[in-house]
Structure 1
């Protein structure tokens, strides 16, 4: 792929803007030699303004989403993309969220431009476990774990019961819930079905992938080992959300 097209696809600018950057000598190899628009230098050997290029297509990243941000590129207000470099919005293929967290939910949110991987993660048959911690308006009654694990709980307006989910009580009004599917506002609606109300909600784990000290509002690139953790079952003690 020609250098101009590569850089434009990575979001560094339009082809015209990228061509100008190349002419100005801002794009070099690791030895500092300016590259030409037709250069076919290996991706890992290219520097833009003395910095290594963003990953090639197939990029996966993890964001610790704060409350108040929407998983959209078009809605008004604060968007999760505002927390990423501006050029990430311009990448081709498009960098998409893997599923969604609503505006009032914080925690682990994945992004990728790999459509095959995205669909593998969200496909119902994958049953990738997602772990949430919820704070509740009223004390737990004690029968919630049995209801959620039964595989018979129906949400209002739906005609198919939920898959079994695991509930761990963390306190009088706190609980950890592991889901194996992803329905609209599922955690909030599950507790509503028991007569309770979620006042705060955070997703702290996807498979065996945790936030691992990632500060709220920040993100990191994932490597192959991280991606493999997405499809591994949670095990051991789950750490609290990063702050």
Structure 2
């Protein structure tokens, strides 16, 4: 891929702007040599304004989503994309969230521009476990774990029972819930079906990949080893 197109696709600017950036000498190799528009250089050896290029197509990003941010670009207000560098919103192919967390849910949120990887994560066949820490309005009754694990629980307006889910009691009104599917507002609806109300909800892990070490609003590009953790039980 030509250097101008590569830089534009990574969101650094328009093709015209990238042509000017190359002429200005802002694009170099690791030895500081200025690159020309037709120079063939390995992606990992290209610097833009003395910084390594963002990863090429196939990037996967983990964000520790704060409360108050939404995942849809059609919504008003604060968007999860606002927490990433501006150029990430201009990438081609575009970055998409892998599933969603609603405005009142925090924690582990994945982005990618790799459609195949996205569908692998969300596919029901993959059964990628997603772990949530839950705070409830009222104490647990003690019946929830058996109900959630039964594989027979039905949610209102649904025609198919939920897959078995594991509940770990953390306190009188606190629990950790592991799901193996992703239905609309599933955690909140499950507890609502038991007569309780979720007051605080955070997704702590996707597979074995967690947000440990990431500050709220912090993000990182996943390594190949990190990606493997997503599909590990």
Q: How would you bin the TM-score normalised by the shorter chain? A: over 0.9
- Is 1:63 the counterpart of 2:63? The answer is yes
Aligned counterparts of 1:140 and 1:45: Cα–Cα separation in 2: 55
Q: Secondary structure at the match of 1:125?
A: coil
- Describe how 1:52-201 pairs up with structure 2 within 5 A: 52-201=52-201
- TM-superposed deviation, 1:211: 0.9
- Cα deviation per residue 1:21-47 (whole Å; 9 max; x = unaligned)? 111110011111111111221101110
- Cα deviation per residue 1:194-225 (whole Å; 9 max; x = unaligned)? 00000000000110111121110010111010
Which consecutive unaligned segments of at least 5 residues does structure 2 have?
none
- Is 1:51 the counterpart of 2:55? The answer is no
- Describe how 1:199-218 pairs up with structure 2 within 5 A: 199-218=199-218
Which consecutive unaligned segments of at least 5 residues does structure 1 have?
234-243
Aligned counterparts of 1:178 and 1:164: Cα–Cα separation in 2: 9
- Cα deviation per residue 1:84-139 (whole Å; 9 max; x = unaligned)? 00000111111110000000000000011111100000001110000000000000
Aligned counterparts of 2:57 and 2:199: Cα–Cα separation in 1: 38
Moved beyond 6 Å, runs of 4+: none
Aligned counterparts of 2:96 and 2:82: Cα–Cα separation in 1: 13
- TM-score, normalising length: structure 1: 0.95
Q: Secondary structure at the match of 1:126?
A: coil
What is residue 241 of structure 1 aligned with on the other side?
A: none
Aligned counterparts of 1:112 and 1:216: Cα–Cα separation in 2: 20
Aligned counterparts of 2:39 and 2:14: Cα–Cα separation in 1: 17
Question: Which one is further off, 138-147 or 38-47?
Answer: 38-47
What is residue 224 of structure 2 aligned with on the other side?
A: 224
Q: What is the count of residue pairs matched by the alignment? A: 233
- TM-score, normalising length: structure 2: 0.99
- Is 1:21 the counterpart of 2:21? The answer is yes
Question: Which one is further off, 70-79 or 102-111?
Answer: 70-79
Aligned-pair RMSD on alpha carbons?
Answer: 0.6
